[in-house]
Amino acid sequence: MKQSVQNHFQNLTCPSKQVQYEAYQSIMDILKKPVDWAYEVWDELVNELSSPDPHARSRAAQFLSRLSISDPEKRIIRDFSSIWAVTYDEKFVTARHALQEIWRIGLAGNKQFELVWSHMEERFKNCEGEKNFTLVRADLIQSIKSLSFYRNDDTRSLMVEEWIESIPDEKYRKKYWSIWRRKMT
């Protein structure tokens, strides 16, 4: 791992919130593409999924989701349940940030795709008892849309459209349709 990347990881715990944010943004940008140092940080990130610090939990879930494309050993399958647990975090913003990135695991391969898909499908259908479930559903639709777009695979579009149509509240049904129909670039 390059020293500059190590510095970004070290800066995540810097007292300055601005330095932390810049380090976070830099790492997120780097992780848009595969890296060869995933396993140098993997175990530490898995441990941070249960950190008392909600920011650390959120970052760990997001980074691991993005690192899944750099995971030839498929550790992400072993660690998926710990990452998915963060999408139910007691701090809603932590949960939401994890949920908004977890779809990226589905880009790592077919097994990973099926794992993410099955969890997102179950969550969409059964999240009504959750706090902010309408936002959870909106994030799930956006995640599925992104996953379909980046995999260049819309074979399950009809299924998602059926989910949206099954929403009894017209206001939210319209909201979900607007997300689903929005153009991706």
Ramachandran angles phi, psi of 27, nearest 5°: -65, -45
Sign of CA dihedral 42, 91, 111, 176: negative
pTM of the model: 0.94
Say how far apart CA 57 and CA 97 lie, in whole Å.
Answer: 10
Mean pLDDT of the chain: 96
Residue in the structure block whose two tokens are 């992400």 = 76
> Taking the CB of residue 24, how many other CB atoms lie within 10 A of it?
18
pLDDT score at 183: 85
Residue in the structure block whose two tokens are 């049904």 = 173
Q: Is the pLDDT of residue 185 over 80?
A: no
Q: How confident is the model at residue 49 (pLDDT cuts 50, 70, 90)?
A: very high
pLDDT score at 1: 82
Q: Which of these CATH numbers, 1.10.3470, 1.25.10, 1.10.8, 2.60.120, describes 31-181?
A: 1.25.10
pLDDT score at 138: 97
Say which residues have a Cβ less than 8 Å from residue 150's Cβ, sequence separation at least 6: 107
